[in-house]
Amino acid sequence: MAVSLTPVRSPIGTWTIEACANGICEIHMPGRRLPARKGEGELHAQKAKRQLEEYFAGQRKKFALQRCAVQTSEFRHSVWRAIDDIPFGHTRTYGEVAAAIGHPLAFRAVGTANGNNPWPIITPCHRVVASSGLGGYGGGVAVKRFLLELEGITKY
């Protein structure tokens, strides 16, 4: 099955949407150069591109995209579902996410699951912050700060 690779330009660099016939497989953060390619996921990729461009333009707060199934633990799926529930313009700490999924002491494991999120922005892992402040981000702290500020969050 040939995947589509579709670039999306943003003020903080070019993201790449990887999609197949079943939906969005992964969103690659800026800094990773992947060649554009059309494949069976082109319709999903183009829909995601439009929605991400709307997000970066301040016109979209929620995403309506089909995601590919990911083989991973139920724990990680529960973390990603909890992250999906964080509203635009709000944050949660790793500890709050851990408590929300019924594992209040698993904040480090939540951080690991958050860091392995295949759909950044769509599953808004940037909205998860450390109890002591911003915390890390796979795309770098500057990218996380930009995304939070795009949503009107200036205190973390």
Instruction: List, in order, residues 6 or more apart from 101 with CB less than 8 Å away.
Output: 75, 78, 79, 81, 82, 110
Is 125 a catalytic site residue?
Answer: yes
Token pair for 70 = 């990911």
Q: Between the CA of residue 76 and those of 116, 126, 136, what are the distances in Å?
A: 9, 16, 18
Measure the CA–CA gap between 129 and 144, rounded to whole angstroms.
10
In the DSSP assignment, the letter for residue 13 is E
Pick the catalytic residue: 20, 25, 68, 125?
125
In the DSSP assignment, the letter for residue 130 is B
Q: Which residues are catalytic?
A: 125
